[in-house]
Chains A and B, each alone.
Chain A
């Protein structure tokens, strides 16, 4: 039998027994169709949630198959700090994870950390995306944004020099995040990998002191400014000029560099952000008794939620809705007590959070001999020339990190104030692409595509309703193991240990790969019309000559990688 139409011209063409002569494939059933399925990979919530634009769903899929090095390289494509971000990022990738409904969100950051750690000792040869070029850029500030930008530009063949005021690179990752959250050899290893790409690093080089901003602009074809937030806001209470009222970032920097620091015994830490928490937990580990005062309630605390829990577990008291009014010093200028006042929450302010209002007559005293302020930081932009437009909170930039000067770009906290390592890494990469375009005389690429690793998928975020849950078994989210409290508060050992391979495979096996086809064959197997074929090079093809548009493939796709349109 063949696929062609059978031509019966006379009775002689009819076989003696009534036997078929041709296949039904002459009958093109496409004409029956009133709806048409088509393969359309969509964006998983984790991918759309990552501020660094990492292809999360891809590295999870690789980790599922035990391809840890490939998974690691997938992260390195957009973020040179997997082991660091796996530890310190507040993991917005997990916020909308569809596994929430089947045993809890995927513990994505622990998998990222594992991929960073398991490959830690591997000496990876730098991969260059483009040929060497004779143009160069200067990066001011060796923090996450600056290093991310430097890394992406170096991979594209540009000469890169990074200018850093401090004696070691890393910015806030080095001097703002304590060792118990991020051991510094991890950071050093990841920075070394960036430097392997031929990035020149000039330490102890403060702009405006050792070298001027004009010099840098003259020396390079473009300049990226990402100096972070290293000026602490004043306490704004009487007695703030006393010697023992010191900024939290200064305390953290001194501890990080193991500089000499004289701490009090009972320390009042003012603020509710990560700096306040890090400072309080650090001084606790140095034998002091910290106590946090915060003028709003726990819901408004900007610090990472898990960090707040850890801090409370470690026994550090927090006075919510409390504001220091006056710091009392003795004749020698030493702090003896702090007068505080209770607050209540009023109408929402510009930030959308309810504004705290003082309760009159609720003043009380707290015993303290030291005050650490952590009520917000500002950038120090005094080194910039006046032709760069900037406000007190940062350099003015557009979505690509471009300032008003064509060759000057800015990012990280000193321009955007997003406040996390991963956001800074994302900005650094995004701006690197814009600088690359500027140096080639092109327009910067589409903003959304840079922000997220869409990679041919649609920007549509897969929601829980689009998942076919019958194909997934409920399974619990695994939590990392922490050190015992009495042990952890005595030193700077890392609090949480990483996942074992077994734990990682448990977590990755929970990933539903939302919107991304891992070739489960459901569409192929369930098609009643044999209209789906598997491609030799991966994926499937729908034969639109025969597809009747029943939509079974769409309904039975576990993860919404097929869509249907009504004709």
Chain B
């Protein structure tokens, strides 16, 4: 009988640190943790293509870099096509053992880089695309993006006018492209995240990982609560963990506990203005979206 130690999680993550300390992410940043783990999985033979986003700043100013691998800083709308270009260039030179990753925030993915991303997926370019989604333009001062959830405060949806539109469903749009692989992940579910990172490292074709990434200054939350918020996003069904292969084969990766949404929103100042009625509506919306996903999963399992 193998000994079990409760709470003794055995992580399958390489010890080697590729990303260096001293980067410019705020304390408790989910995006810097994503990158740290992703680089451990991708390994040193990785090229990152980073458009305007938090990571353009986190990596550090010239002549310094925190990533520990080559970073191509590119224009806001060009993460996917820059990665495409790098991939083709490396292929022409016969360099096959590199993972080319477009690493963009939600603004550069959902909004500004969306056209380029769609075209890239349509051509099924051989790149990995990681969208670390902190649900607003955090880097420039917390402006709303199409990834911002309904009801959230941002500096452009302030005071009595929180965002009225629901979050864009990127994963479904990608599935509609029949992308070879698209999945959601978040930092609290580390085994799930590392498994998916390995998958997008080893696959051919366009593959996209959508990572929910808590942001203490933008979500107005405690720095120490980042993992807890990430965990609650999944357990409340706000951000279910699932993957879709070839746009059709759905797999749910973690059965959410179905904790009330309020448990998730109350840890974040961006939701503090919500009334009980608002929260009820939010719960209904989350339940509805979950039902839709659940039906898809049972239909296209």
A23–B9 CB distance below 8 A: no
B24 interface contact, C-beta 8 A:
yes
B65–A24 CB distance below 8 A: yes
Residues in B lying within 8 Å of A, measured CB to CB? 1, 3-11, 13, 15, 17, 19-30, 32-33, 36-37, 59-60, 62-66, 68, 71, 187, 190, 216, 222-228, 231
**Residues of chain A within 8 A of B20, CB atoms compared:** 3, 23-25, 530
A501 interface contact, C-beta 8 A:
yes
Q: List the A residue with the shortest CB-CB distance to B235.
A: A470
CA distance A558 to B7 in the complex (A): 7
The minimal Cβ–Cβ distance linking A63 to chain B, given in whole angstroms, is: 9
The minimal Cβ–Cβ distance linking B171 to chain A, given in whole angstroms, is: 25
A505–B1 CB distance below 8 A: yes
A543 interface contact, C-beta 8 A:
yes
A509–B28 CB distance below 8 A: no
Q: Is the interface of A mostly helix, strand, loop or mixed?
A: loop
- Decide yes or no: A521 and B11 within 8 Å by CB, A24-B59, A526-B227 being known contacts: yes
A554–B224 CB distance below 8 A: yes
A24–B24 CB distance below 8 A: yes
**Residues of chain A within 8 A of B187, CB atoms compared:** 526
The minimal Cβ–Cβ distance linking B58 to chain A, given in whole angstroms, is: 9
- Decide yes or no: A24 and B223 within 8 Å by CB, A518-B8, A522-B9 being known contacts: no
B21–A531 CB distance below 8 A: yes
- Decide yes or no: A472 and B7 within 8 Å by CB, A23-B22, A526-B187, A531-B21 being known contacts: yes
The residues in A between 539 and 556 inclusive whose CB is less than 8 angstroms from any CB of B are 543, 545-546, 548-552, 554-556
CA distance A470 to B17 in the complex (A): 27
Q: Which of B4, B21, B216, B228 contacts A29 (CB 8 A)?
A: B21
A530–B19 CB distance below 8 A: yes
Give the size category of A's interface with B.
35 or more
B231–A551 CB distance below 8 A: no
B7–A559 CB distance below 8 A: yes
Segment with Cβ contacts to B, from A14-22, A294-302, A374-382? A14-22
CA distance A543 to B36 in the complex (A): 16
B15–A24 CB distance below 8 A: no
A246 interface contact, C-beta 8 A:
no
Sample of 15 A–B contacts (CB below 8 Å): A8-B63, A22-B64, A24-B60, A24-B65, A25-B22, A27-B24, A27-B60, A473-B6, A502-B1, A512-B6, A520-B7, A520-B8, A525-B190, A528-B32, A559-B7
A364 interface contact, C-beta 8 A:
no
B3–A521 CB distance below 8 A: no
B27–A32 CB distance below 8 A: yes
B22–A28 CB distance below 8 A: yes
B9–A520 CB distance below 8 A: yes
A6 interface contact, C-beta 8 A:
yes
B7–A555 CB distance below 8 A: no
The minimal Cβ–Cβ distance linking A501 to chain B, given in whole angstroms, is: 7
B224–A66 CB distance below 8 A: no
Q: List the B residue with the shortest CB-CB distance to A519.
A: B8
- Decide yes or no: A555 and B225 within 8 Å by CB, A18-B62, A526-B187 being known contacts: yes
CA distance A95 to B88 in the complex (A): 66
A505–B4 CB distance below 8 A: yes
Question: Which of A3, A501, A520, A534 has the most chain B CB within a 10 Å cutoff?
Answer: A520
A65 interface contact, C-beta 8 A:
yes
A1 interface contact, C-beta 8 A:
yes
**Residues of chain B within 8 A of A3, CB atoms compared:** 20
CA distance A534 to B14 in the complex (A): 12
CA distance A511 to B26 in the complex (A): 36
**Residues of chain B within 8 A of A554, CB atoms compared:** 224
B23–A529 CB distance below 8 A: yes
B4–A548 CB distance below 8 A: no
Q: List the B residue with the shortest CB-CB distance to A502.
A: B1
B23–A24 CB distance below 8 A: yes
Q: List the B residue with the shortest CB-CB distance to A37.
A: B224
- Decide yes or no: A471 and B6 within 8 Å by CB, A23-B64, A526-B227 being known contacts: yes
**Residues of chain B within 8 A of A472, CB atoms compared:** 6-7
A64 interface contact, C-beta 8 A:
yes
A548–B27 CB distance below 8 A: yes
A513 interface contact, C-beta 8 A:
yes
Question: Which of B3, B6, B187 has the most chain A CB within a 10 Å cutoff?
Answer: B6
**Residues of chain B within 8 A of A518, CB atoms compared:** 5, 7-8
CA distance A552 to B9 in the complex (A): 16
- Decide yes or no: A1 and B3 within 8 Å by CB, A470-B231, A520-B9, A555-B224 being known contacts: no
A174 interface contact, C-beta 8 A:
no
Question: Which of A501, A522, A528, A555 has the most chain B CB within a 10 Å cutoff?
Answer: A528
